[in-house]
Chain A
Amino acid sequence: MDLLLKYIILEDPNVRFVVVAIILLGAVSGIVGSFNFLRKKTLIGETVAHSMLPGVLIAFLLSGVKSPIIMILGAALSGWMSIWLVDYITHKSKIKSDSALAIVLSSFFGLGIVLLTMIQSSFSGNQSGLDHYIFGNAAAMTPEDSTAFAAVCLIVFLLVASSYLSIKATIFNSDYAQSIGISRRKIDVLISILTILTISVGIKAVGIIMMSALLIIPPTASRFWTDRLVPMLIISGCFGALGGWLGSFISYYETNMPTGPLTIVCVSLFAFVSMMFAPKKGIIYQRWNKLLLRRRINEENLLKAAVQNEVRGKGKLFDRAQINKRQYFEQKLWNRTINRLKNKGFVYKVHTGYTLSMTGRNYGADIDRRHKIWEVYLQRRMQMSVHLVHDEAETMEHFLTPEIEEEILGELGLCSRFNPLLEIHEIIPDPDIA
C-alpha cells in the first residue's frame, strides 16, 4: 500500500521520468497506431522499428556520442528509408506488401546487426547501451530522454489535431478526399512521419518489438468498442497509457521484471478482454445474439405453422405431429420452443395438444403475411419464378419490419389491408388441397 502511494505520487525521482515517459508513449502510439490500423498497414510499425537499428548505429558511428537527439535523427532517417523502400518494392514489382515488409525488415535489421558487431569488435569505450535499442531498457532512461519524449508527443498531438479532418477523410474514403482537394500523398507522408517519430523516440525505452506492439495492440483493442474515429483514438490512447502505467508499476513493484514487455502484456490483456466481452462486437455478445436469433426464428416458425394449421381448417388444437407436416421440429427443439412460447403466453396447453392465444395467433399471422408479401414482391418486382420465391421468403419473413412491410405494400400499389391469403392461393398451390 505504501509502495503504491509512493508510486502514484511519483516520489522517487528515478521512477518519475520512466512512468511519465511510458504513459505518454503508450498514449501517443495508441493514437498513431490507430491510423495505421485503419489503413490496414498495421505491421508497418514492426518493419520501421526493426529498420531503425542501422540508423541509430550509423548516427553513433558518425557522431561518436550517444546523444538522444542525434540517435533519434538517425533512427528517423533509416525508418523513413524503410517506408520508402516498402512502397517502392510494392509499386514497382509484383511483390505484395507483406513480403516487401519482411524483406525490408530482415535486411535492415541484418545490416544493423552487422554494424552493431562491427562497433562492438572495433570500439572499446563508450558503446555500451547500444543494444538497448533492440530490447529496450526503460530503467536506463535519462531526464534528457524524457524531455525528448515530451517534445515528440507534443508534436504528434499538434500534427494530428491540425490535420485531423484531412486524415479522417483520406482514411475512410481516399477517393472522396482527393476530389475535395486533399492530397493523398501528403496524408500518407504525414502518417508516416507520425509513425516514425513515435517509434524513433520509443525504441530505446521499450525496444523494437515492444514498440511495434504498442502500435498494434491498443488500436486492435479499441476497435471492439466503437465504430467512430475520435472515440477510437481516445480509447486506444487510454489503453496504451493505462497499459504503460500498469506495466511500469508492476516492474517497479516486482524485481527483475522488464517494463516494456509488462506493458505489452497488460495491453494485450485489454485486447483479449475487449475481444471477449465488448458489447456488440465481443465474441460472447455475438454468440448470445446468434442464439437469441435462432430461438426467435424457431418460435416464429412454430407460430406460423400453427396459424396455417388453423387457416386450413385443421382445428384449433395442434401437436408436434401436425406441425411437423409443415415445419419439422425435433423432439428436443420442439419441447424447448413450445415451453418458451407457453411462458410468453403465445400458446396454451390444452390436454392432448396446444392452442394459440390471441397474441400468438396475431404474431403467427403477421409472420405468415410477411412471408406472402415477400413472395408477391419477388414475383412482381423481381420477376422470380413461382417455385423459387418460397425459400427466399422463408428467411425474409423473420427480418421484415412493419415499416418495410408498409413500404413494400406501397411499392406494389396495395393498401395495408391487403389480404395476401386470398391473393396468393392462385399462385401457390396449397399442399393440403393438392
Chain B
Amino acid sequence: MDGFWIVLTGFLVASSTGMLGNLLLLRKMSMMGDALSHAVLPGIVIAYLISGSRASFPLLMGAIIMGLLTTFLIHFFSNKGKIQGDAAMGTVFTFLFAIGIILVTKYAGQADIDADCVLHGELAFVPLQKSSYLGIAAPDAVWTLLLLFTLIQLVFWVGYKGWLLTSFNSEYAASIGIQTALWHYSLMAATSVATVVSFESVGAILVIAFLVVPAATAFLITKDLKRMVMVIIVQGFLSSLGGYMLSNILNASISGSMAVISFVGFSIVFVVKKRGLKSIP
C-alpha cells in the first residue's frame, strides 16, 4: 500500500507540474522552475521564523510571495537594468538562495529547519502521516497534492484559450488585447505554488525534473497542446512507477530515481524520433 501512495504522489506531482512546465517550455522559460525552486527558500524560512511552525499554510504563503517577488525582480533586472534575460534570472535566484541559506544557517540552532529538508523532501516518508477525509485514509501529502492537481487542472482548462494564445504567439495575443503580462504573472504564481507544494513532499530536484522532462518529451512527439498534456500525464505516470521500482532495487532516493527514469523516458523518445526522422527522408 505504501508503494501505491508513493507512486500516486509522484504521479500527482508529475501531472500538475508537467502541465505548467509545458507552458514554460513553450515560452522558452524552462529554467524558471530551477530558479523558482531555489529562490523561494528565503520565503519559506522567513515564514517559518515568523509563524514558528512547520504548518504548510504559512510556509506556502511565504514561498508564493517570494516566487512572485522573484518574477518581479527578474523582470525589473532585464527591463530596467537591461541585463540579458538569463543573467538576470541567474543573478536574482542565486542571490535569494544565498540569503535563504544564510538564514537557515543562522537560525539552525533555534529552528527545526535545514536546507537539506527543504530541498530534498523525501518521498519515502509520505505514507507515514495519514489523515482521513470522506472515509478514505490517505497520506496528507496526497490530499494536498490532489488539491493542487485540481487547482491546476482548473487554471489550465479554464484559461486554455489564453494559455494557447500567449504561449504560441504572445505578440499576436498582445495585439488583440490580451493582457500578456497578467497571464505571465499568473503562470509564475501557479508555478511558485506548484513548486512549493510539491517540493515539500518530493524535494526540489524532482520538481525541476517533472517541470521540464515530461513537457520536453511531449514536445518532441507533438505540437498540439492537448496531446502534449496527454503525453505528459502518461510520461509522469511511467516515471513515477519506474522510479519507485528502481529505488527499491537500488535502495536509493525515490525522488532521484523518478528523475532518472523520467530522463530515460525522454531519451527513448529522443532516439526513436531521431531514427524515425532519418528513415523518412
**Residue contact B255 to A110, C-beta cutoff 8 Å:** yes
List residues of B (77-130) whose CB comes within 8 Å of A's CBs: 77, 80-84, 86-91, 94-95, 97-99, 101-102, 105-106, 108-109, 115-116, 120
**Chain A interface helix/strand/loop/mixed:** helix
> Max chain B CB contacts within 10 Å: which of A92, A96, A102, A209?
A102
**A89: nearest chain-B partner, CB-CB:** B270
**Residue contact B205 to A99, C-beta cutoff 8 Å:** no
Is the C-beta of A135 less than 8 angstroms from some C-beta in chain B? yes
Is the C-beta of A106 less than 8 angstroms from some C-beta in chain B? yes
CA of A283 to CA of B31, assembled, Å: 26
Evaluate whether A114 and B257 lie within 8 angstroms (CB atoms) in the complex, with A121-B251, A275-B77 already known.
Answer: yes
**Residue contact A257 to B273, C-beta cutoff 8 Å:** no
**A113: nearest chain-B partner, CB-CB:** B256
Question: What's the minimum C-beta distance from B266 to chain A, rounded to whole angstroms?
Answer: 7
Contact of B33 among A92, A102, A109 (CB under 8 A): A102
Is the C-beta of B250 less than 8 angstroms from some C-beta in chain A? yes
In the bound complex, residues from chain B placing their C-beta under 8 Å from that of A271 are 91, 95
**Residue contact A118 to B250, C-beta cutoff 8 Å:** yes
Is the C-beta of B263 less than 8 angstroms from some C-beta in chain A? yes
Tally of A interface residues using CB under 8 Å: 57
In the bound complex, residues from chain A placing their C-beta under 8 Å from that of B253 are 113-114, 116-117
**Residue contact B30 to A102, C-beta cutoff 8 Å:** yes
In the bound complex, residues from chain B placing their C-beta under 8 Å from that of A261 are 97-99, 101-102, 105
Evaluate whether A42 and B84 lie within 8 angstroms (CB atoms) in the complex, with A93-B273, A107-B263, A114-B260 already known.
Answer: yes
Among the stretches B6-14, B57-65, B193-201, B208-216, the one at the interface with A is B208-216
Question: What's the minimum C-beta distance from B260 to chain A, rounded to whole angstroms?
Answer: 5
CA of A411 to CA of B214, assembled, Å: 62
In the bound complex, residues from chain A placing their C-beta under 8 Å from that of B154 are none
Contact of B105 among A99, A210, A256 (CB under 8 A): A256
**Residue contact A102 to B34, C-beta cutoff 8 Å:** yes
CA of A37 to CA of B38, assembled, Å: 21
Evaluate whether A106 and B205 lie within 8 angstroms (CB atoms) in the complex, with A212-B90, A217-B91 already known.
Answer: yes
**Residue contact A106 to B213, C-beta cutoff 8 Å:** yes
In the bound complex, residues from chain B placing their C-beta under 8 Å from that of A107 are 209, 213, 259-260, 262-263, 266
Q: A4-40 CB contact bits vs B (8 Å, 1 = yes)? A: 0000000000000000000000000000000001001
In the bound complex, residues from chain A placing their C-beta under 8 Å from that of B273 are 93
List residues of A (199-228) whose CB comes within 8 Å of B's CBs: 209-210, 212-213, 216-217, 219-220, 223
**Residue contact A110 to B209, C-beta cutoff 8 Å:** yes
**Residue contact A110 to B90, C-beta cutoff 8 Å:** no
**A38: nearest chain-B partner, CB-CB:** B84
In the bound complex, residues from chain B placing their C-beta under 8 Å from that of A209 are 38, 94, 97-98
Contact of A283 among B80, B208, B220 (CB under 8 A): B80
CA of A399 to CA of B231, assembled, Å: 57
Evaluate whether A264 and B95 lie within 8 angstroms (CB atoms) in the complex, with A43-B90, A110-B259 already known.
Answer: yes
In the bound complex, residues from chain A placing their C-beta under 8 Å from that of B156 are none
In the bound complex, residues from chain A placing their C-beta under 8 Å from that of B251 are 117-118, 121-122
**Residue contact A112 to B219, C-beta cutoff 8 Å:** no
In the bound complex, residues from chain A placing their C-beta under 8 Å from that of B255 are 110, 113
Evaluate whether A112 and B30 lie within 8 angstroms (CB atoms) in the complex, with A93-B273, A95-B216 already known.
Answer: no
Is the C-beta of B206 less than 8 angstroms from some C-beta in chain A? yes
Tally of B interface residues using CB under 8 Å: 64
CA of A271 to CA of B246, assembled, Å: 44
Question: What's the minimum C-beta distance from B18 to chain A, rounded to whole angstroms?
Answer: 13
Contact of B94 among A94, A117, A210 (CB under 8 A): A210
Question: What's the minimum C-beta distance from B88 to chain A, rounded to whole angstroms?
Answer: 8
**Residue contact A103 to B213, C-beta cutoff 8 Å:** yes
List residues of A (36-94) whose CB comes within 8 Å of B's CBs: 37, 40-43, 45-46, 89, 92-94
CA of A293 to CA of B258, assembled, Å: 58
Evaluate whether A213 and B95 lie within 8 angstroms (CB atoms) in the complex, with A93-B273, A113-B253, A114-B250 already known.
Answer: yes
Is the C-beta of A115 less than 8 angstroms from some C-beta in chain B? yes
**Residue contact B86 to A43, C-beta cutoff 8 Å:** yes
In the bound complex, residues from chain B placing their C-beta under 8 Å from that of A237 are none
Question: What's the minimum C-beta distance from A283 to chain B, rounded to whole angstroms?
Answer: 6
CA of A102 to CA of B18, assembled, Å: 13
CA of A96 to CA of B215, assembled, Å: 12
**A99: nearest chain-B partner, CB-CB:** B30
> Max chain B CB contacts within 10 Å: which of A40, A41, A115, A117?
A117
**B119: nearest chain-A partner, CB-CB:** A134
**B271: nearest chain-A partner, CB-CB:** A92
In the bound complex, residues from chain B placing their C-beta under 8 Å from that of A43 are 31, 86, 89-90
Contact of A92 among B28, B116, B274 (CB under 8 A): B274
Question: What's the minimum C-beta distance from A100 to chain B, rounded to whole angstroms?
Answer: 8
Question: What's the minimum C-beta distance from A122 to chain B, rounded to whole angstroms?
Answer: 7
CA of A330 to CA of B251, assembled, Å: 76
In the bound complex, residues from chain A placing their C-beta under 8 Å from that of B94 are 209-210, 212-213, 216-217, 264, 268
Contact of A121 among B84, B215, B252 (CB under 8 A): B252
Q: What are 13 residue pairs bridging A and B, where the CB atoms are less than 8 Å apart in the complex? A: A41-B86, A42-B86, A96-B25, A98-B31, A98-B86, A101-B31, A102-B208, A113-B252, A131-B116, A220-B88, A261-B101, A261-B102, A268-B95
Query: Lowest 8 A-B CB distances belong to which pairs?
Result: A110-B259, A213-B94, A113-B256, A107-B263, A106-B209, A216-B90, A261-B98, A264-B98
Which residues of chain A have a CB within 8 Å of any CB of chain B? Answer: 37, 40-43, 45-46, 89, 92-96, 98-99, 101-103, 105-107, 109-118, 121-122, 131, 135, 209-210, 212-213, 216-217, 219-220, 223, 256-258, 260-262, 264-265, 268, 271, 275, 281, 283
Q: A98-B31, A216-B91 are in contact. List 15 more A-B contacts (CB 8 A).
A: A93-B270, A94-B220, A95-B216, A95-B219, A98-B28, A98-B30, A101-B30, A103-B266, A105-B34, A106-B211, A106-B212, A111-B259, A121-B252, A258-B105, A261-B102
